Amino acid sequence: MASVGQSLPHDSATGHVTGAARYIDDLPRLDRELYVDFAGSPVAAGRIRSIDLTAARAVPGVVCLLTYDHLGGPNHFGPIIPDEAFLAEEEVVYVGQPIVVIAAETPAAALRARQLIVVDIEERKPVLSIDDALAAKSFIGPERRMMTPGAESDADFEAAFRSAPHTLAGRFVSGGQEQFYFETQAALSIPGEGGDVRVISSTQNTTETQAVVAEALGLGMHQVVCECQRMGGGFGGKETQSAIPAVMTALVVKQTGRPARLVLRRGDDMRITGKRHPYQTDYRVAFAADGRLIAAQMAYYSNGGAFADLSTSVMERTMLHADNAYHVPMLRVTGQVCRTNLPPNTAFRGFGGPQGVAVIESLLEDIAQVVGRDPFDVRRLNLYRDGDPARSVTHYGQIVRDHVLDETFDRLAASSNYRHRVNAVTEFNTTSITHVRGIALTAIKFGISFTTKFLNQANALVNVYTDGTVQVSTGGTEMGQGLYTKIQQLVADEFGLPPSRVRMMATSTEKSNNTSPTAASAGTDLNGAAALVACGQIIERMRDYAAGLFASTERGLVAAPEHVVIDDGAVWDDRDPSHRIEFGEFCAMARRERVDLGARGFYATPGVDYNRETGCGNPFFYYTTGAAIAEVTIDRFTGELTFDRADVLMDIGRSINPGVDRGQVIGGFIQGVGWVTNEELRYNDAGHLLSTGPTTYKIPNVTDLPRVLNVDFIDNPKHQKNVRQSKAVGEPPLMLGICAWMAAKNALQSLAGDKRVELAIPATGEELLTRMTALVGQAVPDAVGTSQISGRR
Amino acid sequence: MRNSLVFYVNGDRHEVRGEAAGRTLSDYLRGGCGSPTAERLVGTKIACAEGDCGACTVLVGKTAPSGDRLDYQTIDACIAFIYQLDRRHVVTVEGLQEDSRLAPAQQAMVDCHGSQCGFCTPGFVMALQGLVEESDDRGPLADETLRLGLSGNLCRCTGYSQILDAGKRLDPARVDSVAKQYDPAPMLADFAALGDGPVRVNPRDTHQLNGHATAAPPVEVFLPSTLPELVEFRADNPDAKLVSGATDVGVQFNHGKLAPVAVISTTGVAELQHLEVVDEELVIGAAVPWSRVEAFAKHELPAYHAILTRFGSPQVRHAGTLVGNLANASPIADSIPFHYVAGSTLELASVGGRRDVPIEDFYLGYKQLDLRPDEVIIAVRTPLPAENVQLRLYKVSKRRDMDISTVTTAFWLELEGDLCAGARLAAGGVGPTVVRLPRAEEALIGRPLTLEAMRVAGRIAREEITPISDVRGGADYRLQLVENLFAKCWHEVRGNGILTGSSG
A333, containing H or E segment? strand A330-338
How close A459 comes to chain B (CA, Å)?
23
> For the segment A710-736, what is each residue's pLDDT rounded down to a tens digit?
999 999 999 999 999 999 999 999 999
d(CA A97, CA A87): 8
Angle, CA A622 vertex, CA A619 and CA A628 arms, to 5°: 115
Within 13 Å of residue A514, how many CA atoms lie on the same side as its CB?
Answer: 9
Q: Are strands B89-91 and B70-76 parallel, antiparallel or unpaired?
A: unpaired
Nearest chain A residue to B116 by CA distance is A480
Angle, CA B250 vertex, CA B246 and CA B252 arms, to 5°: 120
How close A67 comes to chain B (CA, Å)?
25
pLDDT given for residue B215 in this prediction: 62
Q: Assess whether A515 and A554 both reside in one domain.
A: yes
Average pLDDT across chain B, whole number: 94
pLDDT of B42 over the 90 cut: yes
Nearest chain B residue to A647 by CA distance is B504
Asked whether the bond before A762 is cis by omega within 30 degrees of 0, the reply is yes
Q: What percent of chain A has a predicted confidence (pLDDT) above 70?
A: 98
What residues of B are in contact with residue A25 (Cβ under 8 Å)? 30, 42, 46
What does the DSSP 8-state code read for residue B289? B
Confidence of residue B333 (pLDDT cuts 50, 70, 90): confident
Q: How many CB pairs under 8 A join A and B?
A: 278
Hey, are the CB atoms on B480 and A428 less than 8 Å from each other?
Answer: no
Hey, are the CB atoms on A16 and B121 less than 8 Å from each other?
Answer: yes
CB burial readout B183-202, b (16+ within 10 A) else e = ebeebbeebeeeeeebbbbb
A427, containing H or E segment? helix A418-431
Question: Residue B496's CB: how many other CB atoms inside 10 A?
Answer: 12
Hey, are the CB atoms on B476 and A770 less than 8 Å from each other?
Answer: yes
Note whether residue A692 is domain-resident.
yes
pLDDT of A789 over the 50 cut: no
Hey, are the CB atoms on A182 and B55 less than 8 Å from each other?
Answer: yes
What residues of B are in contact with residue A678 (Cβ under 8 Å)? 398-399
Hey, are the CB atoms on A111 and B118 less than 8 Å from each other?
Answer: no
Distances in Å between the alpha carbon of B319 and those of A293, B267, B292? 58, 10, 10
Confidence of residue A784 (pLDDT cuts 50, 70, 90): very low
Nearest chain B residue to A485 by CA distance is B116
pLDDT given for residue B496 in this prediction: 65
Look at residues A233, A9, A483, A4 and name the one whose alpha carbon lies nearest to residue B107.
Answer: A9
Look at residues A521, A457, A526, A450 and name the one whose alpha carbon lies nearest to residue A490.
Answer: A526
B179, containing H or E segment? helix B178-181
Look at residues A514, A522, A530 and name the one whose alpha carbon lies nearest to residue A210.
Answer: A514
Tell me which CATH code domain B216-269 carries: 3.30.43.10
From B115, B154, B472, residue closest to A16, measured CB to CB: B115
Q: Determine the residue among A697, A701, A773 to mutate to test chain B binding: the one whose Cβ has the most chain B Cβ atoms within 10 Å.
A: A701
d(CA B423, CA B453): 12
> For the segment A349-369, what is each residue's pLDDT rounded down to a tens digit?
999 999 999 999 999 999 999
Is the distance from CB of B461 to CB of B426 less than 8 angstroms?
no
Concatenating the DSSP letter of every residue in A639-656 gives --EEEEEEEEEEE-BS-S
> For the segment A651-703, what is each residue's pLDDT rounded down to a tens digit?
999 999 999 999 999 999 999 999 999 999 999 999 999 999 999 999 999 99
pLDDT given for residue A790 in this prediction: 37
ipTM of the complex: 0.97
What residues of B are in contact with residue A765 (Cβ under 8 Å)? 396, 398, 406
Question: Residue A51's CB: how many other CB atoms inside 10 A?
Answer: 17
Is the distance from CB of B315 to CB of B341 less than 8 angstroms?
no
pLDDT given for residue A792 in this prediction: 35
pLDDT given for residue A1 in this prediction: 77
pLDDT of A462 over the 50 cut: yes
Hey, are the CB atoms on A19 and B94 less than 8 Å from each other?
Answer: yes
> For the segment A543-583, what is each residue's pLDDT rounded down to a tens digit?
999 999 999 999 899 999 999 999 999 999 999 999 999 99
Domain boundary among the residues A560, A578, A604 is at: A604
pLDDT given for residue B371 in this prediction: 96
Q: Determine the residue among A17, A115, A439, A640 to mutate to test chain B binding: the one whose Cβ has the most chain B Cβ atoms within 10 Å.
A: A17
What residues of B are in contact with residue A648 (Cβ under 8 Å)? none
Nearest chain B residue to A234 by CA distance is B117
> For the segment B142-191, what is each residue's pLDDT rounded down to a tens digit?
999 999 999 999 999 999 999 999 999 998 888 989 999 999 999 999 99
pLDDT given for residue A137 in this prediction: 98
Q: Are strands A293-303 and A330-338 parallel, antiparallel or unpaired?
A: parallel
Q: Determine the residue among A14, A116, A182 to mutate to test chain B binding: the one whose Cβ has the most chain B Cβ atoms within 10 Å.
A: A182
Q: Determine the residue among B35, B119, B451 to mutate to test chain A binding: the one whose Cβ has the most chain A Cβ atoms within 10 Å.
A: B119
How close A652 comes to chain B (CA, Å)?
18
Residue A659 phi, psi dihedral angles, 5° rounding: -65, -45
Distances in Å between the alpha carbon of B498 and those of A453, A634, A783? 56, 12, 13
How close B482 comes to chain A (CA, Å)?
9
From B53, B160, B498, residue closest to A694, measured CB to CB: B53
Angle, CA A419 vertex, CA A415 and CA A425 arms, to 5°: 110
Is the distance from CB of B486 to CB of B461 less than 8 angstroms?
yes
Confidence of residue A77 (pLDDT cuts 50, 70, 90): confident
pLDDT given for residue B498 in this prediction: 57
Q: What percent of chain B has a predicted confidence (pLDDT) above 90?
A: 88
Q: Assess whether A751 and A665 both reside in one domain.
A: yes
pLDDT given for residue B366 in this prediction: 87
Q: At what angle do helices B104-111 and B161-169 cross, to 10 degrees?
A: 130
Residues A129-135: what's their mean pLDDT?
98
d(CA A602, CA A598): 14
Hey, are the CB atoms on A765 and B480 less than 8 Å from each other?
Answer: no
Residues of chain B with CATH 3.30.390.50: 391-498
Q: Assess whether A88 and A235 both reside in one domain.
A: yes
Look at residues A128, A562, A708, A158 and name the one whose alpha carbon lies nearest to residue B502.
Answer: A708
d(CA A534, CA A193): 32
Note whether residue A24 is domain-resident.
no
Residues of chain B with CATH 3.10.20.30: 1-215
Distance in angstroms between the alpha carbons of the first and the last residue of chain B = 63
pLDDT of A791 over the 50 cut: no
Q: Determine the residue among B90, B121, B455 to mutate to test chain A binding: the one whose Cβ has the most chain A Cβ atoms within 10 Å.
A: B121
Nearest chain B residue to A639 by CA distance is B481
How close A245 comes to chain B (CA, Å)?
17
Q: Assess whether A551 and A642 both reside in one domain.
A: no
DSSP H helical segments within A63-165, as ranges? 107-116, 130-136, 154-163
pLDDT of A116 over the 80 cut: yes
Note whether residue A13 is domain-resident.
no
pLDDT of B206 over the 90 cut: no
Residues B314-329: what's their mean pLDDT?
95
Note whether residue A581 is domain-resident.
yes
Hey, are the CB atoms on A230 and B406 less than 8 Å from each other?
Answer: no
CATH of the domain at A495: 3.30.365.10
The CATH H-level superfamily of B1-215 is Beta-grasp domain (3.10.20.30)
DSSP H helical segments within A218-352, as ranges? 243-256, 266-272, 311-320
Question: Residue B31's CB: how many other CB atoms inside 10 A?
Answer: 18
From B97, B117, B214, residue closest to A480, measured CB to CB: B117
d(CA B38, CA B16): 14
Q: Which residues pair with A504 in a beta bridge?
A: A472
How close B408 comes to chain A (CA, Å)?
11
Domain boundary among the residues A227, A257, A272 is at: A272
> For the segment A281-296, what is each residue's pLDDT rounded down to a tens digit?
999 999 999 999 999 9
Residue-number span of the structural domain to which A554 is assigned: 457-604
Look at residues A782, A770, A628, A788 and name the one whose alpha carbon lies nearest to residue A711.
Answer: A628
Residue A702 phi, psi dihedral angles, 5° rounding: -60, -30
Is the distance from CB of B413 to CB of B389 less than 8 angstroms?
yes
Note whether residue A793 is domain-resident.
no
Distance in angstroms between the alpha carbons of the first and the last residue of chain A = 52
pLDDT of B212 over the 50 cut: no
pLDDT of B254 over the 90 cut: yes
Confidence of residue A786 (pLDDT cuts 50, 70, 90): very low
Hey, are the CB atoms on A695 and B406 less than 8 Å from each other?
Answer: no
Enumerate the active-site residues of A: 731
Q: Assess whether A255 and A184 both reside in one domain.
A: yes
Hey, are the CB atoms on A702 and B153 less than 8 Å from each other?
Answer: yes
d(CA A518, CA B295): 48
What residues of B are in contact with residue A644 (Cβ under 8 Å)? 502-504
Residues B340-346: what's their mean pLDDT?
98
Domain boundary among the residues A254, A272, A290 is at: A272
Note whether residue A385 is domain-resident.
yes
pLDDT of B217 over the 80 cut: yes
pLDDT given for residue A74 in this prediction: 82
How close B102 comes to chain A (CA, Å)?
8
d(CA A3, CA A494): 10
Distances in Å between the alpha carbon of A397 and those of A152, A331, A722, B408? 13, 11, 21, 55
Hey, are the CB atoms on B484 and A780 less than 8 Å from each other?
Answer: yes
- Report how many domains make up chain A: 3
Tell me which CATH code domain B391-498 carries: 3.30.390.50
Q: Which residues pair with A101 in a beta bridge?
A: A38, A66
